[in-house]
Structure 1
Amino acid sequence: MRFHRFKRGTGFQPVFSSWAGSPCHRIDESYNFVMKLILNVDALTPPLTGIGHYTLQLARGLRGHPAISELRYFAGWRWVSDPEAASAATRPVAMARRWIPFKPAAALAYGWLQQNLFRWQTRPLRDLLVHAPNYILPPWVGPSVATLHDLSHLHYPQHHPRERIRYLERYLPLTLERASRLIAVSEFVRQEIHQHLGVPLARIVTVHNGMDAAFHPRTALATAPVIARYGLEPGGYLLSVATLEPRKNLARLAQAHSRLPPSLRHTKPLVLIGTPGWLTEELEQHLAPLERIGQVRRLGYVPQADLPLLYAGAFAFAYPSLYEGFGLPVLEAMASGVPVLTSDRSSLPEVAGGAARLVNPEDVEAMTAGLERLLTDDDERSLAIKRGLRQAHRFSWERCIEETVAVYQQALAN
């Protein structure tokens, strides 16, 4: 799927009129525009994925921002007053997606219904800007912004459910036509959007994701009470955090770990945190026998409050994904004071910033050698931890919010 014939949508500079219904009224003269915003919060479906956390951070940071005079949230098919409670609006859709038959057709039908419900419920509104943090813009004739997190559906369609591919094929070209500006979560993704979708670079802005302050180094004494509930000890495991789906390359990670010397496999088992995804048959074949002998542990979904302690308690972190638009877990591990091994491709070198050991994610032997070095070389570990902390501190959600607001201003100035 390639979209090279790109038509720019018509933008306008709005004149704001009074509009009730939002708690945000503070105005700061330092901003070029004071704007009214509709934020689509469909991605706030539990358990939250990376895009869900991104959306939640936007919703929190934009609420009360001095450049936002009015803020409203739309989820599923209706308005929601509080993004923290948006899951109530999206949960029925998530359940339907899991159980409904004929999923590709159902996804397209739901997309059509959702777009038309948005159009119907916003028909009396004017002079607003719409931001879709999860790829697809709803129908809107005014200024709009969409965030694209990666183009993995183009490069690895075999690693996605068919209904997702069909949905993006149908609605992403419309987003490219409508959007006043596109946000890319890394410079890598910005260049991908330009090269593969034909969008001019001037219409795409790189805004990196941020880092939650909850991720920071902790002592063994601080982590022990929480990680003990999972049968773990501080410094006693190699961690990976990812949805269990093919693109995350966990099958090769398990293979690489299984080739480590027996002492390392025993003292540093591979611990996987993440919800079951899709197309996991091959991964299951690799993990099941290793689980039976205790070399792999799957924790599934863990509460958000426990996650920073599980990071900080790890001896090392591995994230050998085949393709990432950003790769937030790499930063979360670095911020937690844990040395990282990750892939030498896509956005991951950009995000790691020279602070991680990079390997070819398709070379199991290279991955094994990298893991062994990370687990045994004290000098490399110490240097990686210091560099990782410096790199992680370059990213914050506050900066992400400010840069996102600047993109809104560009969209309004079109």
Structure 2
Amino acid sequence: MLKIILSTDCVKFPLTGIGRYAFELAKQLENSQSVDLSYLHGLSITKTLPIASETGNTGQGLKRHLQKSRIVSEIYRITYPYAKSYVLSKQEEHIFHSPNYYIPPNIGKSVATFHDLSVFHWPEFHPAGRVHLMQKELKKTVARAKVLVTDSEYTKKELIEYFDTDLNNVVVAPLASSGFFAPRLESEVQPVLSKYQLSYKQFFLYTGTIEPRKNILTLLQAYDRLDLITKTNFPLVISGYKGWENEELFRLFKKGNDEGWLKYLGYTASEDLPLLYSAAKGFLFPSIYEGFGLPVLEAMASGIPVICSNASSLPEVVGQAALMHEPYDVQGYAESINLIIQDFNVEQRMISAGIERAKAFSWEHCAEKTIQAYTQVSEIYD
């Protein structure tokens, strides 16, 4: 049996895409007959999978306060990986898996998941202070890890081209949508619609952090091109943290809010999100760069049409089940939004195709491919 230690530092509130990946993967691995699974959370090894609680965490305030100190942050950055290495050094029979890029120094049996290479290909999409550090640490991980896992063939290709990595040492383990994302009746979602003052199938949805690579500006510009009656009858609902803003983005947010065609929810509770998906008229995702694109898969599983960009890994995920455009094709997005509203037959074909496409992805398959990576590492040391 393969003895695995999975890092779960990313399983925390708010549960981002990487945190959700680690959580769903862990649940599948726990059911595997070929894996003996433990977790490294902080500096503790446990058999209990952490839960990303959405209630207040008394330790978070102190942590954020300490992070504001440059000296404390620098000491933490330098010493913490070695503290993890010390803990793991006592578990030499285990394979260590980092689901979030980073592997501590001096770890022999190791696997790391690379979700994308945006800090290398699109450094302008990240805060300047983060880019140099991430590039440096990710290069170290490529050198340290015995096998790398990616979410998509697209990211695998990037890894091989950028780092000259042996293709046999990169395993693709596609992500999946959880069972919470499924078509629902109006009666099932009415409490959430009432909470956010929305109407069933009378809005388009975007979910994700508001940051440059998500291309929100193009989305707002496309919506602004719709006639006023259409966009007020089918407002754009945006769910996600505001990571970045610029002057034009701020102007369009204000314009959309003032004219009644934009509703910004901020962070949405995880139990509300699947209900919002299934209640929407369609899902919009004009992202410039994705390592996978989990939101479009969740939208298809929820039984709503998807309009997205044709960039990076997104065609690999949606197949022929979505309407795709070049990332900056403002007019194209506007026309597709109108098409979904006006053509019932197109809408229904896209719903059926999306549901079928989503069935091709499962967390069970993701776990199987990940175990394949573990097995490759184990064979290196046999």
CA contact (8 A) 1:190 1:204 kept: yes
CA spacing shift, 1:248–1:40, aligned 2, 3 Å? same
Tell me if 1:47 matches 2:17: no
1:144-183 pair list within 5 angstroms: 144-183=110-149
| CA positional deviation for 1:279 | 4.7
Amino acid at match of 1:122: L
CA distance in 2, matches of 1:360, 1:212: 28
CA contact (8 A) 1:210 1:397 kept: yes
1:331-346 pair list within 5 angstroms: 331-346=297-312
TM-score by length of 2: 0.93
CA contact (8 A) 2:12 2:51 kept: no
The residue that corresponds to 2:376 in the other structure is 410
Q: 1:100 aligns with which of 62, 65, 68?
A: 68
The residue that corresponds to 2:33 in the other structure is 66
CA distance in 2, matches of 1:275, 1:80: 31
CA distance in 2, matches of 1:158, 1:89: 34
Q: Secondary structure at the match of 1:412?
A: helix
CA spacing shift, 1:86–1:220, aligned 2, 3 Å? closer
| CA positional deviation for 1:156 | 1.7
Q: Secondary structure at the match of 1:38?
A: strand
Identify which range, 396-405 or 180-189, moves more after superposition. 396-405
Amino acid at match of 2:68: I
CA contact (8 A) 1:250 1:320 kept: yes
Q: Deviations over 1:368-394 (max 9, x none)?
A: 122222222222111111110100011
Q: Secondary structure at the match of 1:215?
A: coil
Tell me if 1:245 matches 2:211: yes
CA distance in 2, matches of 1:264, 1:307: 24
Q: Secondary structure at the match of 1:139?
A: coil
Aligned-residue identity in percent: 36
The residue that corresponds to 1:303 in the other structure is 269
CA spacing shift, 1:382–1:59, aligned 2, 3 Å? same
Identify which range, 277-286 or 207-216, moves more after superposition. 277-286
| CA positional deviation for 1:122 | 2.4
| CA positional deviation for 1:192 | 0.7
Amino acid at match of 1:48: L
Amino acid at match of 1:100: K
Q: Deviations over 1:9-50 (max 9, x none)?
A: xxxxxxxxxxxxxxxxxxxxxxxxx11111111211311110
Tell me if 1:235 matches 2:201: yes
Q: Deviations over 1:29-74 (max 9, x none)?
A: xxxxx111111112113111101100111222222421122x2212
CA distance in 2, matches of 1:153, 1:411: 27
Q: 2:176 aligns with which of 210, 224, 237?
A: 210
Any gaps of 5 or more consecutive residues in structure 2? none
Q: 2:330 aligns with which of 347, 364, 369?
A: 364
1:320-359 pair list within 5 angstroms: 320-359=286-325
CA spacing shift, 1:210–1:108, aligned 2, 3 Å? farther
CA spacing shift, 1:75–1:92, aligned 2, 3 Å? farther
CA contact (8 A) 1:246 1:280 kept: no
TM-score by length of 1: 0.86
Identify which range, 247-256 or 82-91, moves more after superposition. 82-91
| CA positional deviation for 1:352 | 0.4
The residue that corresponds to 1:390 in the other structure is 356
| CA positional deviation for 1:144 | 1.0
Equivalenced residues, count:
377
Q: Secondary structure at the match of 2:77?
A: helix
Amino acid at match of 2:224: S
| CA positional deviation for 1:239 | 0.5
The residue that corresponds to 2:93 in the other structure is 127
CA spacing shift, 1:145–1:94, aligned 2, 3 Å? farther
CA contact (8 A) 1:276 1:300 kept: yes
Q: 1:224 aligns with which of 185, 190, 195?
A: 190
Q: Secondary structure at the match of 1:83?
A: coil
Tell me if 1:318 matches 2:287: no
Tell me if 1:399 matches 2:365: yes
Tell me if 1:56 matches 2:23: yes
CA distance in 1, matches of 2:94, 2:101: 19
Q: 1:195 aligns with which of 156, 161, 170?
A: 161
CA spacing shift, 1:297–1:382, aligned 2, 3 Å? same
Identify which range, 106-115 or 334-343, moves more after superposition. 106-115
CA contact (8 A) 1:245 1:280 kept: no
CA distance in 2, matches of 1:89, 1:399: 37
CA contact (8 A) 1:269 1:297 kept: yes
CA distance in 2, matches of 1:196, 1:346: 15
CA distance in 2, matches of 1:158, 1:106: 27
Q: 1:283 aligns with which of 238, 243, 249?
A: 249
Q: 2:345 aligns with which of 370, 376, 379?
A: 379
| CA positional deviation for 1:246 | 1.2
Amino acid at match of 2:226: L
Amino acid at match of 1:219: L
Identify which range, 81-90 or 135-144, moves more after superposition. 81-90
CA contact (8 A) 1:76 1:114 kept: no
CA spacing shift, 1:53–1:244, aligned 2, 3 Å? same
Amino acid at match of 1:343: S
Identify which range, 191-200 or 367-376, moves more after superposition. 367-376
The residue that corresponds to 2:258 in the other structure is 292
CA distance in 1, matches of 2:76, 2:150: 26
